[in-house]
Amino acid sequence: MTEPRALTKGRAFAGCTVALVTPFRDGELDEPALRQLVDWHVAQGTDAVSPVGTTGEAPTLSHAEHERVIDTVLDQAAGRVKVIAGTGSNSTAEAVRLTRYAAKAGAAAALMVAPYYNRPMQEGLYAHFAKVAESVDLPIILYNIPGRTGRNMEPDTIERLARIESIVAIKEAAGSLDQVSEIVARTNLTVLSGDDSLTLPMLAVGGEGVISVAANLVPGDVQSLVRAFQAGDVAKARALHFKLFTLCRELLGLAVNPIPLKAALALLGRGNGELRLPLTPLDERGLLKLRATLEAYGLPLAST
């Protein structure tokens, strides 16, 4: 059996967390569909769900809707699955407010994306997360995704933040195994993959799980990959990596996430595919390629 790294702080959040979509209908939050999604993931044995992140189209939600999604997911989960609420913002005061709300509502942890658009310096990134951590009693999972935020959280900054007790893990989506290796070597944070196609390589250098887009479709396979590696069955983990690889790449490559994912859910009869502007539906060429990928994977398409 492969031994996990000793003493990582966020071990409770290792495994497979799904980066949950936010369903809409006629422009409004579709609460019944959101509740059905939570029930489906409970039935699938998903380790945790993470609403109102990138995949959940959080930037298009009003403050009231953001809170309503957190409340709805927590209410429906009813303790059956951990809920890691997205509470990031490019405003430190707003991140504090959202994180306090998630803590009061009963979330197990907060997933906090680095501030976006205003592109703070490394000292600003440190001060932002430190301020939230000192203001709210809730475990914090950092989320580094420079392709979205315009600024990479450097290993030096992450190492400083790791010294703060309530900062327990990081969702790392910079696409650099060198950076992952530095974080593993220099901190006791639990490192979670933020790129589905890199989950196995990240596990190989000390990662302990994934916050997954693909798990919206195939949580069992994503979870099995992580568990196989943790059990020392590298051959099974590698086989699952290659089974998932094309699906994972296309969910993030045919268009910006969650456009392909919502299209896939609609093709599988598990959603209507509705997005909020400025996101627009996948084009016909992309749909044909996605349909073929789903069929090749063995997922049953809904009848049309």
Q: Residues with catalytic annotation? A: 143, 171
Geometric angle at alpha carbon 184, from 209 and 131, rounded to 5°: 90
C-alpha 40/C-alpha 206 separation (Å) is 30
